[in-house]
Structure 1
Amino acid sequence: MQCHRIEELIELLTPVWLENQELNLTEMLAKLAKESGFQGDLTELSDDSLIYQLKMIQTGEGKAIPGLAKDYEEDFKTAILKARGLL
């Protein structure tokens, strides 16, 4: 894992872990894995899965998926024109 990914993971994990201070790190990772639907061994859990799950927790219900919000358009016509390169 590259240094910037470790920093991003720690930054995203900090507020969630502060809400669950009674958990140790392994328990916190297991909780995040379960919430994301991961059913394998924790050693197989990728950092991408953790980062995505942590972003989803902070995004809130009804919001655009992180990474897709930048491409979201309110107006369908505008979205089509941008996709065709006309805007």
Structure 2
Amino acid sequence: MKYQRHNELIELLSAAWLTAPDLNLLQFIQQIACEAGYNENLADLTDDALIYQLKMRDAASDAAIPGLKKDYENDFKTALLRARGVIKE
């Protein structure tokens, strides 16, 4: 699982970095961090924060977060019944 996350980060960074070839890697990571609203030390920035920002940076502001979209239900009643086990997959 650890390597999957790192491979995902490298894949996302590679694709996104092509859009700003004039920046070096640290400058690009700083730009991504600023877009995410992170203003602390870059050494403390988590890879999860980078992954989600890279996935969501071009998405609409009301778009579902990728990891949560699989659990999304249009109807609250359906979501509640599914959570209680009344509705099976």
TM-score (norm 2): 0.86
Alpha-carbon deviations, 1:33-62, whole Å to 9, x = none? 11111111111111111111111125x103
5+ residue gaps in structure 1?
Answer: none
The one-letter code of the counterpart of 1:51 is: I
Q: Distance in 1 between matches of 2:24 and 2:38?
A: 19
Offset at residue 82 of structure 1 (A): 0.5
Residue 21 in structure 1 maps to residue 17 in structure 2: no
Q: State the percentage of identical aligned residues.
A: 52
Aligned 1:3-82 pairs, distance under 5 A:
3-58=3-58, 60-61=59-60, 62-82=62-82
User: Higher helix proportion, which one?
Assistant: 1
Aligned length: 85
| C-alpha RMSD over aligned residues | 1.3
TM-score (norm 1): 0.88
Moved over 6 A (4+): none
